[in-house]
Amino acid sequence: MVNAVDVSPLKRYSDDLTKPPSLSRGMRKAGIALIATPDPFTGVPGVALLASSFIMKRKEPASLGSLAQETRKVLREIQSLTL
């Protein structure tokens, strides 16, 4: 009976919470693919995608660890306030 339960969707959702998917990684892969194609017209958008992926890397989605760290920081600041 236990073998009949499929936990793969649950694992995927929990993985998305702990390490959210990265938009910049997909943009980087698409940019490299466009640059690698022999067509000269795809090089310009490929370079633009590759460059913007590095810019977007600084704006990665929040993970559970970063949310917990930010929560601890805010709680420390609140506790340090005196009335």
DSSP class per residue in 13-45: HHHHHHSPPPHHHHHHHHHHHHHHSS-GGGHHH
Chain segment 19-68, per-residue pLDDT in tens: 666 777 788 888 888 888 887 787 788 888 888 887 776 666 667 777 78
CB neighbour list of residue 20: distance below 8 Å, 6 or more residues apart: 60, 61, 62, 63
Q: Write down the pTM of the prediction.
A: 0.47
CA distance 59 to 61: 6
Residue 3: predicted pLDDT: 67
